[in-house]
Structure 1
Amino acid sequence: MHTRPTPPADHGSLAPHTPRVALLGDARSGKLGSNLGAFGRALRRAGVPVDAARIALAQQALQCVGVARRQDVAAALEAVLVGREQDRAVFREMFEAFFRDPELAHQLLARMMPRAVREAGPPRARPRVQAALAPAAAAHGAQQPDLEFDAAMTASDVVRLKTADFNQMSASEYTLVQRLVRDIALPLPTVAGRRTRAGPRGTRIHWGRTLREAARSGGDVMALQRLQRRRQPLPLLALVDVSGSMERYARTLLAFLHAATRHVQVGGRILPVRRNVFAFGTELTDLGPAFRLADTDAMLLAAGRLIHDYAGGTRLGDCLASLWRGHARCLVGRRTVVLIVTDGLDTGEPDDLARELARLKRRTRRILWLNPLLRFDGYAPSARGAAVLHGAADAMLAVHNVSRLQDLAGAIAALVKP
């Protein structure tokens, strides 16, 4: 492969008098692939899905555009390594930190995923990337802004993140909080199931066990054995708004629901939770296939592929009608608690929404509205859709930060009390 001559130096050049091969290396030397691999691993640890195919495509892109200008390198890598809109801010922050100071990027990753980064350590290729892509603005008399970062989180940092609004966080803070919400416990209350088991109390007699006990005592019935209903975790039906105004809240709540509602401990046993999760915007999307995945990151990636109306409008009434037509099995009578995650900015007809909410209310136990707009003091559901939803919901709870998510278990427990 023949190297092309470096273009004349300009204000945006990284190294105006250095050949391209000396910056990142060419395909034959292996430097280009190793350096891009190090950056790809950093992006994966930051939550951006990057595979070997994208790294190979990034190598081809850099060979096409060259590495003489920092803006060209950033644009080419972003075009081939970022496949989701929500990952652009993370990529840009990681690019700025990684190619200015790899140690700073390592601290950033340590705050996001302390255990993984501590085991892996910084790649050896990073010093070459730092030397290759160091900004040359100082040669032109310009001063680059300092990017300060403290990897050690103090108690005040933790408190601030717990009370900070998801929609007002930086990219690094938002990535960290997405990991924090996965550790929030949601001890769901238990309800009486339809299946029975032998026990000391119950309205029906367990004749089989009673006769076996009598056979051991010579045919004398010493006590009547009873059948009592098994306890099971509360069934959940979650409807998550994925419209444009709910982008960050939807992603965070999906990660939280996936991790917190997988299993629950009942009487010393770990039981699976019956949960049905749907995304709604202008149409209804069943997220059951995605929620069957064990890894939360894989679930979010699969959910992104399933949802076709992401960041669009909201028509909750039409989506509830679709739920009734195609997924009536999710409505299991008076045991299910419905969680509706939305800001109430519905664009459908209020009469249709009221009718569908009334039908949903008759066939479920409780409806809990999780509304991120409650972060504003003096909020009132004055919009047409919000007013209808407020009248149908049994309770409304804010879910705009980590602290509010921790209160969700108590709210659900209070709703299902007799």
Structure 2
Amino acid sequence: MTEPSLVVRVREHVHGFLRDLHDQGLRVPVARQRVFLRAIEAAGPRDATHLYWIGASTLTMSRADLEVYSPTFERWFGEVAARPVPDPELPDEETPAPRGKGGEAPFAATSGGEAGLAAGFAERERRPVFGPASQDDRAVLALLRRELRGAMPTVRSRRRRPSRRGPWIDVARMCRESWRGHGEIVTLRRRNRPRRQRRVLLLIDVSGSMKQHSAAYLRFAHAAVGCLDRVEVFTFGTRLTRVTGPLRAREADPAVASLSEVVLDAEAGTRIGLSLQEFLANARYVTMARGALVIVLSDGLERGDCEPMRAAVRRLSLLSHRLLWWTPLACDPAYRPVTRGMSAVLADLDAIAGVRDLRTAYEQVQTMARE
């Protein structure tokens, strides 16, 4: 670094700057924060402008991110010589990274550089394309259909059924049989309340940050709808969509492909709290969650105020039999639910598990069967 004053400002203010970005609505994952700090050490920014471009390359992924990042940076490190001017014709999630001299990025981010790896606010309609399942996926789907029923929790039915053993005498049945035996009761008949599968509710995140996992989650949902008795499936990104009907098709690939006509908020922004509140505002949907096994398949990267998400998850926890959160991030042994959204709902979850594809989903089903 050539400016001694910049050395002092970076050393004293960089962590406060990152916290301020978070407070302003630009919630940068810890992995990208590490990339930013390592980039400062590796590149040794010459001045505030150089530091600005390092941060823009590593901490932002869209035009909306830049609109938050630029004024926040200038508050902490002063004005810069050249700020990016995004092309207004480009959609929000596809704004290219800032370029330096010769058209090259001053520092290439090693995390989060692809579209669909960050949560956002953008709401736009698009028809997602879900490709066919691989041969390995089809094999895992067959295993899932065989194991799912035995892994689901059960509850005693409210209706009494004829049974060989049971605490209730089946008087009506014995009277009917006695007519054939001239009034003699030959066999003592009983009734019992058999066990039946609890309702299952799947809430699947199809936002941009879950782009790589949505197809696998929907195929898992298709397997559940096909082999379980009472299953309801909803997707959410920026809105809530019920997809149980299309998933009743017999074949997995056509069923999942048909969702491109129904799920119009896929690969866009993330509004977990508002989507769950929309679910809970519908009395019919609330009935689906009452006493059910509820599984939320999401990375939990909420944007904006996390209070709606916390309140909605709290109510879901009170309504359901068990509330599980399956996230691809938990597949990393070093994962800790320390983001604002996940830390806010952690106390209301029965379990957090790592699920990123059908194979890891099958492993979780096996774990549920052993519990």
TM-score category (smaller protein):
0.5 to 0.7
Give the secondary structure class of the aligned counterpart of 2:160: strand
Q: Give the equivalent residue in structure 1 for 2:176.
A: 212
1:350 to 297, 306, 310: 306
Q: Report the identity percentage.
A: 29
Cα–Cα, structure 1 residues 339 and 359, in superposed 2: closer, same or farther, change >3 Å? same
Match of 1:335 in 2: 291
* CA 1:348–1:203: 2 relative to 1, 3 Å: farther
Aligned with 1:318 (options 254, 274, 287): 274
CA distance in 2, matches of 1:193, 1:329: 21
Unaligned residue ranges in structure 2 (runs of 5+): 1-125
Per-residue deviation at 1:331? 3.2
Matching residue of 1:391: 347
Contact 2:235–2:243 (Cα < 8 Å) also in 1: yes
In the alignment, is the contact (CA less than 8 A) between 1:276 and 1:330 conserved in 2? no
- Structure 1 residues 406, 353: CA separation in 2 closer, same or farther (over 3 Å shift)? same
Matched with 2:158 is 194
* Contact 1:183–1:260 under 8 Å retained in 2: no
For 1:183, which of 139, 142, 152 is the aligned residue? 142
- Greater relative contact order (Cα < 8 A, sep 6+): 2
Distance 1:307 1:339 in 2: 19
Residues 193 and 250 of structure 1, relative CA distance in 2, 3 Å threshold? farther
Distance 1:181 1:392, change over 3 A: same
Q: Distance in 1 between matches of 2:265 and 2:289?
A: 30
Alpha carbons of structure 1 residues 348 and 413: separation in structure 2 relative to 1, 3 Å: farther
SS in structure 1 at match of 2:159: strand
Offset of 1:210 from its aligned partner? 1.9
Q: 1:292 aligns with which of 248, 253, 264?
A: 248
Q: CA deviation at 1:413?
A: 3.6
Query: CA shift at 1:294, angstroms?
Result: 1.8
The whole-number CA distance in structure 1 between the counterparts of 2:180 and 2:362 is 51
C-alpha contact (below 8 Å) 1:181/1:255 kept by paired residues: no
What is the CA distance between 1:376 and its match in structure 2? 1.7
Q: Give the distance between the partners of 2:288 and 2:181, measured in 1 at CA.
A: 43
Q: Aligned residue for 1:411?
A: 367
Change (3 A) 1:378 1:201: same
Corresponding residue of 1:56: none
Cα RMSD between the aligned structures? 2.6
The count of residues paired between Structure 1 and Structure 2 equals 241
Aligned residue number for residue 36 of structure 1: none
Q: CA deviation at 1:404?
A: 1.9
Change (3 A) 1:403 1:295: closer
TM-score by length of 2: 0.58
CA contact (8 A) 1:204 1:227 kept: yes
Distance 1:293 1:327 in 2: 27
Give the whole-Å Cα distance in 2 for the aligned partners of 1:85 and 1:291.
16
Q: 1:414 to 1:377 in 2, by over 3 A?
A: same
Q: 1:92-111 to 2 correspondence within 5 Å?
A: none
Q: 2: CA distance between counterparts of 1:236 and 1:397?
A: 17
Amino acid at match of 1:366: R
Distance of aligned partners of 1:393 and 1:175 in 2 relative to their CA distance in 1, 3 Å threshold: same
SS at match of 2:134: helix
Return the letter of the residue paired with 1:182.
L
Unaligned runs of 5+ in 1: 1-82, 91-111, 113-173, 264-271
Work out whether 1:249 is the aligned partner of 2:213.
yes
* Corresponding position of 2:185: 221
